[in-house]
Amino acid sequence: MGKYEWILYAVVAGLAWGTYVPLVGYGGKQLGGAPTARLLAILCIGVAYLLIGVLFPLFYLFVMTPAEQRPSVNTMGAIFAGCGGAAGAIGAICVVFATKAAPESQRLFIPPVIFGLAPILATLIGAFWHPIADSKGTGEPFHFQVQEALFQNWKLWAGVVLVGFGVVLVFLARGELEAAESKKSSSVTSSAPSNSASSAEETKP
């Protein structure tokens, strides 16, 4: 694999997250329309996290890995890795609530909003935040630096701007669809009394 190994993992992550919102949306809908169905959907996600993110690493680290090859645990690494996990869990919970709260016709807009904002924020953070780590846990987590070579690559930032422009277009499209649905709903409501009045006239002797 060599230097291209990260591309494989990145593509797999994109495929997994790309199917994440539709799967959660359908699973939450299938679990029922009660308000507590959201919590049940979150519980199902938590079980998956437990199996993949907790039990498997524990088994691999403390059963399959020799003691001398096990990583050392330090406070700094545990804190930041835990914060990353908390951010992922909060995002998963928000996906559940978003798919539940959005009308059926607007659920299609959820993935581009999430996965449009996320890479922009991650790229901006990664461009300025360069924490220094070491195995002893005494690194410098709040190390910020501007890499001039990175900002000279116009293709990267053009891509970021285009992604942001795509998010804006999604919001505009959502607003247009919402306005069209509102107009359609109001026209149906306004025509209902006239239809009932005409029916009453027809039934008169």
Concatenated DSSP letters of 103-128: -GGGGGGHHHHHHHHHHHHHHHHHHH
User: Rounded distance, CA 21 to CA 17, Å?
Assistant: 7
Alpha helix positions (H), 37-153: 37-49, 56-59, 75-101, 110-128, 148-151
Q: What are phi and psi of 129, to 5 degrees?
A: -95, 115
Asked if pLDDT for residue 74 goes beyond 80, the answer is: yes
The answer to pTM > 0.85 is no
List Cβ neighbours of 40 (8 Å cut-off, separation of 6 or more): 31, 32
Give strand pairing partners of 132.
140
Confidence of residue 67 (pLDDT cuts 50, 70, 90): confident
List Cβ neighbours of 93 (8 Å cut-off, separation of 6 or more): 42, 45
Yes or no: say if 28 and 99 are a contact pair by the CB < 8 Å rule.
yes
User: Rounded distance, CA 110 to CA 171, Å?
Assistant: 10
Yes or no: say if 92 and 115 are a contact pair by the CB < 8 Å rule.
no
**At 205, is the secondary structure helix, strand, or coil?**
coil
Give the model's pLDDT for residue 201: 53
- The token pair that represents 122 in the structure block: 């991650």
Give the model's pLDDT for residue 197: 47
With tokens 């690194």, the residue in question is 139
Asked if pLDDT for residue 203 goes beyond 70, the answer is: no
Query: Quick one: average pLDDT of 110-120?
Result: 91
Query: What secondary structure letter does DSSP report for 51?
Result: I
